[in-house]
Amino acid sequence: MTTDCDIWLPGVQQTLSPNFDDRPPQTTVDLLVIHNISLPPGRFGGEAVEAFFQNRLDPSAHPYFAEIAHLRVSAHLLVRRDGHAQQFVPLNRRAWHAGASCFEGRERCNDFSIGIELEGTDDQPFSDAQYDRLVELTRAIQARYPAITRDRITGHSDIAPGRKTDPGPCFDWQRYLSRL
């Protein structure tokens, strides 16, 4: 359940996920985690990611869906290939995007991070529209959470090495970070 105090970004489609909860008391949000997702793997568009984040992914629609439909995950934001952004979890709440993770000795990154999913894969370049929207979203997030500095923006692979590979080698960190 959300409240009037929850933080939704203006100009971003709101699509509430049930997969979130409160952050621990007195938590400073000071990390931004970049991910990639495509469902089924390597396919873009469609409603599968949205359904996944809302616990309504049909396990019979694709063999891969049968493997993951039971998982309860979310991200704060999703940026589609065309730059369209959806927000699934208020920024002040804990989305379930990082799993077992550690950043600079702090475990449970979901507690203190915001997660942005880019529609994509490890082995395909991201679109110009995605970089433009990601920069815009990052700036808006940094305005609300000034502790998220450039050195506190990381990839899922960096906080869960050996377990996760996203956003992958095709994500152009220099292109993104140089625009912030």
Give me the pLDDT at residue 4, please: 84
Of residues 67, 104, 117, 119, which has the active-site annotation?
117
Residue 104 appears among annotated catalytic residues: no
Tokens describing residue 35: 């991910």
**If pLDDT is split at 50, 70 and 90, which confidence band does 1 have?**
confident
The pTM of this model reads 0.97
List, for residues 103-121, the tens digit of each pLDDT value: 999 999 999 999 999 999 9
Q: How far apart are CA 38 and CA 40, in angstroms?
A: 6
List, for residues 124-139, the tens digit of each pLDDT value: 999 999 999 999 999 9
List, for residues 9-37, the tens digit of each pLDDT value: 999 999 999 999 999 999 999 999 999 99
Long-range contacts of 140-146 (CB under 8 A, 24+ apart): 140/9, 141/9, 141/32, 141/91, 141/114, 142/180, 144/7, 144/91, 145/29, 145/30, 145/91, 145/114
Domains of the chain: 13-177 (3.40.80.10)
List, for residues 30-64, the tens digit of each pLDDT value: 999 999 999 999 999 999 999 999 999 999 999 99
Q: What is the mean pLDDT of the chain?
A: 97
Q: How far apart are CA 73 and CA 55, in angstroms?
A: 8
Give me the pLDDT at residue 3, please: 81
A 10 A CB-CB count for 121 gives 20
